[in-house]
Structure 1
Amino acid sequence: MRTKFHDQLDTLFDQLTTMCQLAGDAVTTATDALDAADLTHAEKVFAVTERIGALRGPCEDQAMALLALQAPVARDLRQVVTGVFLVSDLSRMGGLAEHIAESVRRRHPHPVAHGQTQHLLVQMGRLAGELATAAALVLQTRDPALALALDVTDNRLDDLHRDLLTVIQEPAWDGSTTEAVDATLLGRFYERFGDHCVEVGRRVIFLATGQQLPQ
């Protein structure tokens, strides 16, 4: 019975890893769309996030079945409950990538950002993609040390976010009010994406050790 439980749990985490990889693909493609004001890339994001959405239901069903039919306790219970929360985090990551793509689509054929703000946003997007790739490896290995390392990359993302807000508020910045709003929202989307990657790491640390790290 325990062997069957752990096989089913491994299947759940394989699906969660795929969701995380897809979220990384989505945010990277959305960033490519932002960088080039490319509608084709923006539309591709929605196809990727549909695949994330298609995995959400089966993951939730699998987790609920494990809870109801296997009656896990202690560490096993912790792993299943963590899986339930991870589904939500990963779905939100896909949603944030969609928001970025939607911003590009809304402004097309004009770029949603230009100059230094565009450069900073693209850098944020590349880091967000790196974070998602690292978070997927954390889910695959369930390694607390790898999970802790996510914070380092996320701190770099936060630094870029602060730089972006500083640029927008400078008197010398030549962007319009609309561009300022777009850049602020896009920066927030990337920052939140990074936060969810870090949350994936925190949940894996809890799963492996039982320790709840402070926010």
Structure 2
Amino acid sequence: MRDAYTEQLDELAGFLAGMCNDVATAMEKATRALLEADLQLAEEVIAEDIHIDQIRYAAEEKAFALLVLQAPVATDLRNVVSAIHGAGDIERMGDLALHVAQAARRRHPQPVLPAEIAPYFAEMGRIGVALARKAVEVINTRDLAAAAELEADDDAMDDLHKHMFTVLMDRNWSHGVEAAVDVTLLARFYERYADHAVAVARRIVYVITGQMPGPLSV
């Protein structure tokens, strides 16, 4: 029975890793849609979001079944509880990618971003996707060093997010209120996406060590 239980826990982790891969792909597509005013890509992200939601529900059902039927304790209990919370974090990452895609669709065929702002969002997209991919690695390997790296990698996203306020407050901003609102919201979407990826890594640290970290450390 223990072997079967371990397999169920591994399957639960597989759900989370698969979800995390999906939201990385979603943000990758959404960023391209944003930068290239690609309506087809935006529509793909929007349509595929329901699949991410369905995986979350399936993961939560499996986790609740383990709680009820197996009454896990210690590390096993941390595994199950962290999976429930982690599924929520990852599903939220999918929602944030969805918001980016919806912005691209809303402004199509016009570009959402002023040309000089676009490179910042290309970098935000790159960092966000890399964080999600690294979160997959952390889920699969339970590598504390890789988990700690996510915290440091997230600093670059935070710096870009803060820089957007400097850009928007510049007296030479000439793109109007509508563009400023788009830039503000989109920067927040990327910043929150990265925060949720870090939260996933923190939950794995909790599973391994029994302590929820502040700043991640090994």
TM-score, normalised with respect to structure 1: 0.97
Q: CA deviation at 1:208?
A: 0.6
Distance in 1, matches of 2:48 and 2:23, equals 8
What whole-Å deviation, never above 9, does each CA across 1:6-56 have from its counterpart, x for those lacking one? 100000000110000000000010000011011111111123322211211
1:15 aligns to 2:15 (yes or no) = yes
Summarize the alignment of residues 1-215 of structure 1 with structure 2, pairs less than 5 Å apart.
Answer: 1-214=1-214
Question: Aligned AA for 2:23?
Answer: A
8 A contact 1:60–1:84 mirrored in 2: yes
Instruction: Give the AA of the match of 1:49.
Output: D
Output the CA distance in 2 between the equivalents of 1:175 and 1:149: 37
Does the 8 A contact of 2:46 with 2:102 survive in 1?
no
Deviation of residue 121 (structure 1)? 1.4
AA aligned opposite 1:122: A
CA distance in 2 between counterparts of 1:153 and 1:67 reads 34
SS at match of 1:3: helix
Corresponding pairs, count: 215
Structure 1: 5+ residue runs without aligned partners?
none
Displacement of 1:4 after TM fit?
A: 1.3
Q: Shift of residue 210 of structure 1?
A: 0.6
Runs of 4+ in 1 over 3 A off after TM superposition: none
**TM-align CA RMSD:** 1.0
Q: How far is the alpha carbon of 1:115 from its aligned partner?
A: 2.2
Q: Distance in 1 between matches of 2:24 and 2:47?
A: 13
Q: CA deviation at 1:142?
A: 1.6
CA distance in 2, matches of 1:115, 1:165: 17
- 1:86-134 Cα shifts (integer Å, max 9, x gaps): 1100110000000000011011111110122222112101110111111
Q: Counterpart of 1:53 in 2: which secondary structure?
A: helix
Q: Using the alignment, how far apart are the partners of 2:178 and 2:105 within structure 1?
A: 15
Query: Which whole-Å CA distance do the structure 2 matches of 1:48 and 1:120 have between them?
Result: 26
Aligned counterparts of 2:202 and 2:116: Cα–Cα separation in 1: 33
